[in-house]
Amino acid sequence: MSGDGTVDSGTATVDIDAASVSTLVTERSTVPVDDVTLDPPLVRVTASVDVLGLSLGAGIGLGLAAVDGAIELTPQEVSAAGATFSATQFRERFGAVSGDLLAPSTVCIADSVPRGLTLTGVEVARDSMDATFALSPSFLSDPAEQETGSCS
């Protein structure tokens, strides 16, 4: 891709299929993930958690947002032992246990896209995650802006 000069503004929206979203979440998660599904407006993540020698299935419904060019994952729901709680209900019921479990986390994607693209929006659809990017003014004319970025 090449061009001359700058652009006043530009955006691009990419539909990321469910399998790719699953790979992204699984590879970048800090905990082992069993399954990832899209359930608009949430991404649902399930994992097996060992408690007192027993393996319990647990799930978290995550809301997504674009924050500083990254994807912020904010727990909205927690499911365990056949019950589902909103994040607020879970905090009220289980207090200190919910600390890190319900804290928002960030997934850097800069190492997967050109430097000249900044993530500005993310939305979960039935079959995809739709990511919207702003193009830097020199994206078309500066080869460095077209090289893959990095996460620090």
**CA separation for the pair 84, 110 (Å, rounded):** 34
**CA separation for the pair 95, 69 (Å, rounded):** 31
pLDDT greater than 80 at residue 49: no
pLDDT greater than 60 at residue 2: no
Residue 7's pLDDT band (cuts 50, 70, 90): confident
**CA separation for the pair 103, 133 (Å, rounded):** 25
Cis peptide before 41 (omega within 30 of 0): yes
104-112: average pLDDT: 91
136-140: average pLDDT: 91
Residue 131's pLDDT band (cuts 50, 70, 90): very high
34-61: average pLDDT: 88
pLDDT of residue 3: 58
Token digits of residue 22: 């699953």
pLDDT of residue 68: 93
Q: Tens digits of per-residue pLDDT, 67-78?
A: 999 999 999 999
pLDDT of residue 53: 82
What are the E-state strand segments in 9-93?
11-17, 35-39, 42-51, 54-67, 70-80, 83-86
pLDDT of residue 18: 96
Helix then strand count (H, E) for the chain reads: 2, 9
pLDDT of residue 4: 65
pLDDT greater than 80 at residue 1: no
53-72: burial string, b at 16+ Cβ within 10 Å, e else: eeeeebbbbbbbebeebbbb
98-105: average pLDDT: 79
